Amino acid sequence: MQEIIDRIDWQKISLLPVIVQDSTSQEVLMMAYMNKEALSLSLTTKVAHYFSRSKQRIWKKGESSGHIQQIHSFNIDCDNDTLLIKVTQTGVACHTGRRSCFFTELESGEINSKVEVSSEALYGVIDTLYHTIQERKNADPSTSWTAKLLSKGENTILKKVVEEAGEFSFAYKDSDEHEIIYEAADLTYHVLVALAAKNISPDRVKQELARRFNMSGIIEKNSRED
């Protein structure tokens, strides 16, 4: 297997583009990237693993949703720098809940595929909201508050974060449970807008929280052993 992995010039391409095709219908489902570790995992398990540029980590396709990709074949192109894999797709391939990621006609903007599964059910409300905010970057600011906010730049985005943090604090101080929840939701939304503006996935925040949690666990364990 190492010989196969070494066929790729990893110094030239740190991330290998991967086209994913349905093994039965031949429909193109998505495009993603593999680093050396992701390719090794995919070859070993025959289940698709990718490197997520937004999450900055190895990502097993379907790890949250259960919509995994069982790999039937690997094909490398003539330049040894792009991979084509044919898979059996469990559920849907796209985070929007559509079968394929390629559902928007470029010139007209027409969407030619229906949502088959609720994206919130697949990924949870935070990740779904983040992806929705990312999609609003291309929306009309006159019809989308998120697009308008993003178009105004970081000063406006950060002003809203500070404003919502203040409103949350006042609601907390007043011990108004309904307002605390409402303002926490507003604050979360505006923090996600700020993250999306910098293309920082909330998954990376979760990773940092997990790192701190694990570190705290070690410290706590050591204190008990003293």
Which of the four pLDDT bands, split at 50, 70 and 90, describes residue 215? low
pLDDT digits (tens, 9 = 90+) for 170-200: 999 999 999 999 999 999 999 999 999 999 9
Its domain, for residue 72, covers 2-122
Q: Which residue has the tokens 């490398």?
A: 76
- Are 24 and 84 within one domain? yes
For 48, residues 6+ apart whose C-beta sits below 8 A from its C-beta are 20, 32, 42, 60, 61, 68, 69, 71, 85, 87
pLDDT the model gives residue 219 = 59
- Picking from 122, 143, 165, the residue at the C-terminal end of a domain is 122
Closest CA to 59 of 79, 32, 19: 32
Do 66 and 162 fall into the same domain?
A: no
CB of 183 within 8 A of CB of 167?
A: yes
Same domain for 148 and 85: no
Q: Are residues 107 and 17 in the same domain?
A: yes
Domain's final residue, options 103, 122, 141: 122
Question: Is-above-0.75 flag for pTM?
Answer: no
